[in-house]
Structure 1
Amino acid sequence: MFSTNNTYYYSLVATILLVLTFVFCSEGQLSASFYSSTCSNVSSIVRDSVQQALTSDSRIAASLIRLHFHDCFVDVNFHPPFLFHSIFFGCDASILLDVGGNITQSEKNAAPNDNSVRGFDVVDSIKTTIETSCPAVVSCADILALAAEASVSLSQGPSWTVLLGRRDSVTANQAGANTSLPSPFENLTNVSSKLSAVGLDITDLVALSGAHTFGRSQCQFFSQRLFNFNGTGSPDPTLNTTYLATLQQNCPQNGNGATLNNLDPSTPDTFDNKYFTNLLINQGLLQTDQELFSTDGSSTISIVNNFANNQSAFFEAFAQSMIKMGNISPLTGTQGQIRTDCKKVNGS
């Protein structure tokens, strides 16, 4: 017979293993037909809402896919004693939660998101419409995944089958958002490590970076490249000189760091492979963009070349990588809840 301490230990281990089973097997529980009998028109509701939002805001497509990305990459920092890595509850709509109730710190206010991530009003509008047709059925996490796909396909990019069945988190993790999300100031090695930690490889990194083929970025996220790169007193030598002059004019020293610049100067609102052709001529806006092509010996260079010369290859890889990213350890089954208001936990 086990002692009291042993009984407690084995009970704890069993509980942890049960949690791990939920976390690592949850991807297999997602299904394209998850709402077929409970909210069969959910995809069309989301698509129509995104299309309507695009008529008044050309930036919203890029903003919505960024919301999904920034939701999926947040680590809950749970370290069981026998594991050497964190468990990720990724695509759980925690980024949508405001401060209130048991939410004392919002991911919206984390450094990578504060005054940068947007589109919350569109998500709220989509949720309101869905609640009218299918009350308390569709999760906010699934809305983010569907809105990301609609945003890309409506911008002339690829379409893919979104697997559904995620549930919503009842907690937020501002500290995790501060440390888990790739930063535009990080080198390629660090960014690769962060994606590898959630099961995404080098091809996924390059393909997902291709989302920068539309949307905008504030001067503050790349101005260090324009005048004093790495403390050298000179611009980043990998910047195309003509492009550099344009950026210096748009983002003067000590200027407004919130000024917006097109991530793709050629087709800023179209989802295409111009992002990669821009990298070939040293017109990547963010440091993390250009390093995909300008880092000597990197395995990313051949992938960039392939995507620059073959848009179909990029579209296919992007769709596959979005499915993988959307399936980073979602809450499923009885985990979490289906929020009726994406901004707050039910009952708070």
Structure 2
Amino acid sequence: MDARFVLAWSLLILGFCGLFPYTVSAQLKQNYYANVCPNVETIVRDAVGKKVKQTSVAVAATIRLFFHDCFVQSTGSNKAEKDHPDNLSLAGDGFDTVIKAKAAVDAVPSCKNKVSCADILAMATRDVITLSGGPSYAVELGRMDGVSSNATSVEGKLPKPFFNLDQLNTMFAANGLSQTDMVALSAAHTVGFSHCGQFANRLYNFSRQNPVDATLDKNYAAQLQSQCPKNVDPTIVVTMDPISPNTFDKAYFKNLQQGKGLFSLDQVLFTDTRSRPTVNNWAVSTSAFETAFVSAITKLGRVGVKTGKNGNIRRDCSAFN
């Protein structure tokens, strides 16, 4: 599966899966499988729906996996991208969502080995977003699965939790994504969880003058301290959105207005006057946010994809052919 540009915020939760130069493939298109597997989107949607009913964790896990797209397991002495230390917390339910959807697709004789794991993941991501209350949108398809995955490609490619707006914009712009795209995609933090170790510095060691980050709402900081006491196991999890953690909605932006962004790179979207108007707009307008999000995730899905002879269609999403 191809390893595309990864969203800044999800990198901090789940790791990083590789960075490719910004490319847009004209070969991606809607209804790509119309002639070989015309019902593929229905098949995937049904499989994803069953998985989400089994566990709501699949929603955030699948979204994060799409942003990472590092499905390869290591084989032999090779360490794949997902085996990099920054990727070790990738939730297994995201992988399982794709595995189950792939099995459902391949169970249809005309579809067997005709649909890539990368495309199944793209469709599954749209479906979990819709199932959790977010927008539905047409998915461009035609990706091939990658033929290599190395942990060494991860190093130095992810943003840090303390990144400021300039650093975020630089990283996203390098992959053809604007500040507006970055802010919209950051709303993935409206679902899912993080580990205490990823943000504990904001609660206890932010600076010499202010041990607690002053941009954090005081009550929210106290809540996080109760969930993540000093010296607690850093892998203890906390929901990203304290208001509606299982719903894909604009609450993320309302949280930022109230000083309830879990990471510094979340909260900076409101504290920096250049991105604050966008946050304020989307905090009140669901339609404006959803329109921007659909545009941004569609652009994200075009970054670094493999098409044609640059990849293949995996028989098993967890291994090379």
Q: Which residue of 2 aligns with 1:312?
A: 287
Using the TM superposition, give the Cα deviation of residue 184 of structure 1 relative to its aligned residue in structure 2, in angstroms. 2.6
Q: Which residue of 2 aligns with 1:56?
A: 54
Q: Secondary structure at the match of 1:229?
A: coil
Task: Determine the C-alpha separation between the residues in 2 that align with 1:37 and 1:206.
Answer: 37
Q: Secondary structure at the match of 2:26?
A: helix
Query: Do the aligned residues in 1 keep the contact of 2:23 with 2:303 (CA within 8 Å)?
Result: no
Matched, 1:107 2:89: no
**Structure 2 unaligned regions, length at least 5:** 1-20
Task: Determine the C-alpha separation between the residues in 2 that align with 1:225 and 1:24.
Answer: 33
Q: Which residue of 2 aligns with 1:158?
A: 135
Matched, 1:268 2:266: no
Using the TM superposition, give the Cα deviation of residue 240 of structure 1 relative to its aligned residue in structure 2, in angstroms. 0.2
Task: Determine the C-alpha separation between the residues in 2 that align with 1:25 and 1:259.
Answer: 38
> Structure 1 51/194 Cα, relative in aligned 2: closer, same or farther at 3 Å?
same
Q: CA-to-partner distance for each residue in 1:84-103, whole Å, 9 max, x for gaps?
A: xxxxxxxxxxx1111116x8
- What is the 5 A alignment of 1:80-95? 95=70
Using the TM superposition, give the Cα deviation of residue 318 of structure 1 relative to its aligned residue in structure 2, in angstroms. 0.4
> Structure 1 253/329 Cα, relative in aligned 2: closer, same or farther at 3 Å?
same
Q: Which residue, 117, 126, 131 being the options, matches 1:140? A: 117
Task: Determine the C-alpha separation between the residues in 2 that align with 1:217 and 1:24.
Answer: 28
Q: CA-to-partner distance for each residue in 1:150-183, whole Å, 9 max, x for gaps?
A: 1111111111110000001000132333332333
2:219 partner amino acid: T
- What is the 5 A alignment of 1:1-348? 27-71=25-69, 95-100=70-75, 104-118=78-92, 119-133=94-108, 134-230=111-207, 232=209, 234-295=211-272, 297=273, 299-346=274-321
Using the TM superposition, give the Cα deviation of residue 26 of structure 1 relative to its aligned residue in structure 2, in angstroms. 5.2
Query: Do the aligned residues in 2 keep the contact of 1:183 with 1:191 (CA within 8 Å)?
Result: no
> Structure 1 185/178 Cα, relative in aligned 2: closer, same or farther at 3 Å?
farther
Q: Secondary structure at the match of 2:47?
A: helix
Query: Do the aligned residues in 2 keep the contact of 1:185 with 1:221 (CA within 8 Å)?
Result: no
Task: Determine the C-alpha separation between the residues in 2 that align with 1:147 and 1:41.
Answer: 14
Q: Which residue of 2 aligns with 1:16?
A: none
Structure-2-length-normalised TM-score: 0.88
Using the TM superposition, give the Cα deviation of residue 24 of structure 1 relative to its aligned residue in structure 2, in angstroms. 7.2
Task: Determine the C-alpha separation between the residues in 1 that align with 2:58 and 2:271.
Answer: 30
Using the TM superposition, give the Cα deviation of residue 140 of structure 1 relative to its aligned residue in structure 2, in angstroms. 0.8
1:40 partner amino acid: P
Using the TM superposition, give the Cα deviation of residue 230 of structure 1 relative to its aligned residue in structure 2, in angstroms. 4.1
Q: CA-to-partner distance for each residue in 1:28-59, whole Å, 9 max, x for gaps?
A: 11011110011111111221122111112112
Query: Do the aligned residues in 2 keep the contact of 1:217 with 1:262 (CA within 8 Å)?
Result: yes
1:343 partner amino acid: S
Task: Determine the C-alpha separation between the residues in 2 that align with 1:204 and 1:36.
Answer: 30
Q: Which residue of 2 aligns with 1:86?
A: none
Task: Determine the C-alpha separation between the residues in 2 that align with 1:182 and 1:63.
Answer: 19
RMSD, aligned α-carbons: 1.7
Task: Determine the C-alpha separation between the residues in 1 that align with 2:191 and 2:115.
Answer: 28
Q: Secondary structure at the match of 1:137?
A: coil
| Over 6 Å off, 4+ runs | none
Q: CA-to-partner distance for each residue in 1:190-244, whole Å, 9 max, x for gaps?
A: 2221111110000001000011111111111111100111455611000000000
Task: Determine the C-alpha separation between the residues in 2 that align with 1:337 and 1:316.
Answer: 32
Task: Determine the C-alpha separation between the residues in 2 that align with 1:232 and 1:176.
Answer: 38
Task: Determine the C-alpha separation between the residues in 1 that align with 2:208 and 2:81.
Answer: 31
Q: Secondary structure at the match of 1:318?
A: helix
Q: CA-to-partner distance for each residue in 1:232-272, whole Å, 9 max, x for gaps?
A: 56110000000000000000111011111111111110011
Q: Which residue of 1 aligns with 2:14?
A: none
Identity %: 41
Q: Which has the larger radius of gyration?
A: 1
Query: Do the aligned residues in 2 keep the contact of 1:112 with 1:183 (CA within 8 Å)?
Result: no
Task: Determine the C-alpha separation between the residues in 2 that align with 1:230 and 1:345.
Answer: 46
2:31 partner amino acid: S
Q: Which residue of 1 aligns with 2:7?
A: none
Question: After the TM superposition, which of the residue ranges 207-216 and 50-59 deviates more from structure 2?
Answer: 50-59
Q: Which residue of 2 aligns with 1:79?
A: none
**Structure 1 unaligned regions, length at least 5:** 1-22, 72-94
Q: Secondary structure at the match of 1:261?
A: strand
Structure-1-length-normalised TM-score: 0.82
Query: Do the aligned residues in 2 keep the contact of 1:220 with 1:257 (CA within 8 Å)?
Result: yes
> Structure 1 264/255 Cα, relative in aligned 2: closer, same or farther at 3 Å?
same
